[in-house]
Amino acid sequence: MNTLSQHGSRHAFDVLVIGSGIAGLSFCLELLQLRPKTRIALISKVQLSESNSYYAQGGIAAVSSPEDAIAAHEKDTLLSGDGLSNTKAVNTILTEAPGYVEKLSQYGVQFDQGLAQEGGHSHRRIFHSGDQTGRAVIDTLLARIREHTHIDIFESHMAVNLLVQHTPHQPGNHGEVVGAYILDTSTSLIDTFLAKVTVLATGGAGKIYRYTTNPDVATGDGLAMAYRAGVRVGNLEFYQFHPTLLYHPECRNFLISEAVRGEGAYLRLPKTDERFMQRYAPEQMELATRDVVAHAIFTEIERSDYNYVELDITHQPKAFLEKRFPNTYRTLLTLGIDMSTDKIPVVPAAHYQCGGILTDTCGHTDKQRLYAIGEVAFTGLHGANRLASNSLVEAGVMAVFAAKDCVKWLDEKQSAAFSNLTAKINDWDSKGVTDLRRASQINAHWRSLRGEMTSYAGIVRTEAGLKDLLRLILTRSQMIEEYYWKHLITRDLLELRNIILVAELIVRSALQRRESRGGHYREDYPDKVEQQLETILQLDSFREY
């Protein structure tokens, strides 16, 4: 058999940023304001703009009107978090939210006049740019990023594993991260990136489920790499499902924003037109928190002969809808749906990872020199269920804090020797070419996994189903690991390896939490328990990689 080395080149930077959503981009810009000559490597799995942030429709929650108050925003966030939010993180991040929105305005983001209303919020406090806020923010930040000559951009590059330097004979020192192995997907070579600071800004893992609002890049890469490096992760059972993904065979992953319900849309049953939310949240109705609305829709679909429910905003004027939701209106119209006259078919879909890598609000992880910011991080802001439009502001505020904090490492030398690096990876010099037939068979596991995660570890869960699923996952994981160690590394293989690990962590977390709370509903344990503990997992807790 032919052999093909995957060894690439070796790079050294001050900072390695993995991920190009709002967290990663904001971090770069903030750090360069503080230290203009910092050399930054910015890694993007595909093109730089492709991220969860880019597709965010709703907006950014921040208090700005005299009728509103930070305390009210905190109260709404804590209620949505269903008893598991970290009150210190909530206060810290939401207090800084208005300042971050002002920073975006200074960068050039054009927000619309008038604040939007979304589910779970007691006031209108959502800054938005039509129904494409994420795109407006990312496009603006990217324009500023490209002005800086000290940022080296690496598109079509995917992180493989973190490089960890262990420091012996230092009690309490869990080691430091000194960079990462990065696959250049255009050449299939794996480069070594060394850095004084490494930042994970890799987003979530929505592609683990059959229906998701996330783009194809959302495969849990940062979470999986951190876990393999021995970093603690927590509360992964709380995967938030957005209530209203468009249900249409010709358009997948298209979110119908929370703001549509914020502007008065009703949820109705097909054929009968009944507004069913009165059975689940008679006071808030369609503006209940996402966990409540998603569970209600899921329950109604299970009871009916339909695979969807309908979102009805036909009582609003056409001119208003065209102006307030221009992208949604145009997209639906191309599919034969006029939202001013037609009801919109919707289903719940995996949307946001409320748990993640354990951090504080500055993004500190268990490893020195390693930061995690944005959706990949678990600060405790979201608790058991994220409040609408709190995600972008958390990512931005964390990015600012992390940039200020990491300056302390930039004047220090890295560990002199790299002989202690521990990042298990293939023996590239002796690896054979990819077995295309076997690769296709291995990748078929992903399709099955997504269906099983949706059925067994989706909106409604049971112990029997989770245990069955865990057995299936462990069997598949063994096959994927065997293939990983024998064949050339590709993006598809890396994503599959990461997503199967994240699936395992979600299922193990869901088995541990024997209660129902927020985005985690156990049919066999429908009530909350008084003891509110985090679900923490670490590499040595059940097996090694």
Q: What order of strands is seen across the sheet that includes strand 239-246?
A: 239-246, 344-353, 309-312, 266-268
Round to whole Å and give the CA distance between 231 and 55: 29
Contact between 16 and 41 (Cβ < 8 Å):
yes
Q: Which residues contact 404 (CB under 8 A, 6 or more apart)?
A: 30, 34, 362
Residues in the chain: 545
- For the beta carbon of residue 297, count every other beta carbon within 10 angstroms: 24
Is 271 in a helix, a strand, or coil? coil
CB atoms within 10 A of CB 512: 13
Distance between CA atoms of 169 and 185, rounded to whole angstroms? 39
Residue 182 and residue 39: Cα distance in Å, rounded? 17
Residues 6+ apart with CB under 8 A from 379: 86, 89, 93, 359, 360, 361, 394, 398
Distance separating alpha carbons of residues 214 and 24, to the nearest angstrom: 17
Please pick, among 125, 290, 450, 476, the residue that the annotation labels catalytic. Answer: 290
Task: Output the CA angle 516-517-523, nearest 5 degrees.
Answer: 20
**Contact criterion met (CB below 8 Å) for 489 and 190:** yes
3-state DSSP call for residue 239? strand
Is residue 353 within 8 A of residue 374, CB to CB? The reply is no
Q: Are 354 and 394 in contact (CB under 8 A)?
A: no
Distance CA 65, CA 59 (A): 16
273: tokens are: 């037109």
Residue 49 identity (one-letter amino acid)? S
Residue 387 contacts residue 289 (beta carbons within 8 Å):
yes
Q: How far apart are the C-alpha atoms of 381 and 73, rounded to whole Å?
A: 12
Kindly compute the dihedral angle of the four CA atoms of residues 73, 79, 82, 83, in this order, to the nearest 10 degrees. Answer: 80
476 as an active site residue: the answer is no
Given a contact cutoff of 8 angstroms between Cβ atoms, the answer to whether 386 and 213 are in contact is no
Q: Is 169 helix (H, G, I), strand (E, B) or coil?
A: coil
Q: Helix/strand/coil (H, E, C) string of 337-400?
A: CCCCCCCEEEEEEEEEECCEEECCCCCECCCECEEECHHHEECCCCCCCCCCCCHHHHHHHHHH
Q: Which residues are catalytic?
A: 290
